[in-house]
Structure 1
Amino acid sequence: MTGFPRYAIYFAAGADSALSRFGTELLGYDACTGNELPFPDDALRVARDWRDISSDPRKYGFHATLKAPMTLAHGKSEADLMAACATFAGKARPIPTIRPVVDSISGFIAVIPAEPVATLQELAADCVREFDDFRAALRAEDRARRKPEKLSERQRDYLDRWGYPYVMEEFRFHMTLTGRLDSDRRRPILEMLRARFAALGLDTLTIDRIALFKQDDAKVRFRIIGEWALTR
């Protein structure tokens, strides 16, 4: 069993932003407050089982992964990690801006960049490297849960080195809205989500902050326990 509590460093839009409202309403969960939310009528119209479709991303809250969930290494504390987040955010760096779209990625639907953005890849790689001292070593059962036999050789190497296979050039920014769907089910849901997203009028999205999420045990969802604006 994975150790708890677990921590993750994610991008999460500001709580009062249109993007945050878009994601939290669709997931039925607000990671800032820990509150459950009613699902939108149009989501329920297109899929009566919307609660099930959105159940996997609901566990984590609306986010994009920068440093995947981890148990703290021996001798590291939550306070240490929060201080490291503040230090990381305080380092001047180029702030990535993407053109966000809603599309399918590996069978699920998410908000993703319309095209690759080098500064975003660099930000994610920096997070992976700079917070790795806080990560407890990957245990055999956790490694097996990642199904390494289905990963590429490079992804297996990254899993063993960084505790997560989708890092560095394997990283793909995504803010997940559904679990995996077969193509027939995915089409109408994708159309509905694109229409909802278009109504936001969000032509660009600046990845200008990091958030520290915490999961106390396997029975509860992740909550935001800290947020820091990145320094330009």
Structure 2
Amino acid sequence: MRYAICFTPPASDPLSHVAANWLGRNVFSGELVEPSAIRGLGIHEIAFHTAVPRRYGFHGALKAPFRLASDMSEAQLLRELMRFCGTLAPFRISQLEVARTGDFYSLVPSLPCEQIHYLSSAIVQHFDHFRAPLSDADIERSDPGGLSAAQFANLHRWGCPYVMDEFRFHMPLSGPIDHKDMPRVEQALRSVFEPVLSSPIQVSNVALLMEEGNGGPFRVHSLHPIGKVSARKERVAVPA
């Protein structure tokens, strides 16, 4: 079983509903969702293109999936995540947009957001002692031969190549897409997501995701509000 520390909007957020319909699975309940018809893409095409992110559910990773160290428990992780989130301040991502990330499509900030980069770096460092060391198989799955020197160093130090200066916040929407299919997929994604991307995204919680079994789908185990209780009640937000 693995855990991941991520951001995802609350279950009631319109973006969460749209993302669940697109991916075909609700990351909160774990239930499969019947996909909606989308002009230009068949239901089977959507199911194929979303197979990879469907397993993980709609999220933006802040700390990549990890197994707990032998001397750590889920209860300890939960307590520390609750305490840690109480030391933070909520903030906003001014806007998300559909964008290509290599051969994939994701939602990414339309403008740089230092707060989300800082949050990820802080979480990676603060919770590193909860992480079990990578096995040789874990390292091989990370394709170390294809990593840069900085990414290779991150893999061995932090258990993930894409942290610190290599971190780019993104919320995956597809698996790898063949170049000939990209125009149709991108057009469909924009038609589906742009109606719910006009407003800033409030980052007011951190989600702990949990893998079901060994290699199963991930779902939200718990949401941890950011900020002190008084600040949450006042809905204080720091603009991005």
Q: Which amino acid aligns with 2:84?
A: F
Give 1:101-112 correspondences, 5 Å limit.
101-112=97-108
1:20 aligns with 2:16: yes
Pairing partner for 2:129 from 112, 133, 138: 133
Alpha-carbon distance, 1:44 to partner? 7.6
1:117 aligns with one of 113, 126, 129: 113
Q: Which runs of 5+ in 2 are unaligned?
A: 228-235
Question: 1:196 maps to which residue?
Answer: 192
Matches within 5 A, 1:30-45: 30-42=26-38, 45=41
Secondary structure (helix, strand or coil) at the match of 2:44 reads coil
TM-score for both structures, normalised by structure 1: 0.93
Q: How many residue pairs align between the two structures?
A: 228
Q: What pairs up with 1:1-232 in 2 under 5 angstroms?
A: 5-42=1-38, 45-46=41-42, 48-93=44-89, 95-231=91-227
Deviations 1:80-118 (A, max 9, x none): 111111011100336242311011111111110012111
Q: What TM-score do you get using the length of structure 2 for normalisation?
A: 0.90
Query: 1:31-62: CA deviations, max 9, x gaps?
Result: 21111000110078356322121010011110
Unpaired runs of 5+ residues, structure 1, are none
Contact 2:93 2:109 in 1 (8 A): no
TM-aligned CA deviation for residue 223 of structure 1: 1.5
Partners of 2:61 and 2:39 lie apart in 1 by 24
User: Measured at CA, do residues 104 and 43 of structure 1 come closer, stay the same or move farther in structure 2, by a change above 3 Å?
Assistant: farther
Q: Distance in 2 between matches of 1:54 and 1:34?
A: 15
Give the whole-Å Cα distance in 1 for the aligned partners of 2:164 and 2:19: 26
CA contact (8 A) 2:90 2:203 kept: no
Report SS of the residue matched to 1:59: helix
Distance 1:229 1:97 in 2: 16
On the 8 A contact 1:46/1:192 being kept in 2, the answer is: no
The SS at the match of 2:41 is helix
Who is 2:231 aligned against? none
After superposition, the Cα gap between the structure-2 partners of 1:146 and 1:32, relative to the gap in structure 1 and judged at 3 Å, is same
Deviation (angstroms), 1:201:
4.9
CA contact (8 A) 2:90 2:202 kept: no
Shift in CA distance, 201/135, structure 1 to aligned 2, threshold 3 Å: closer
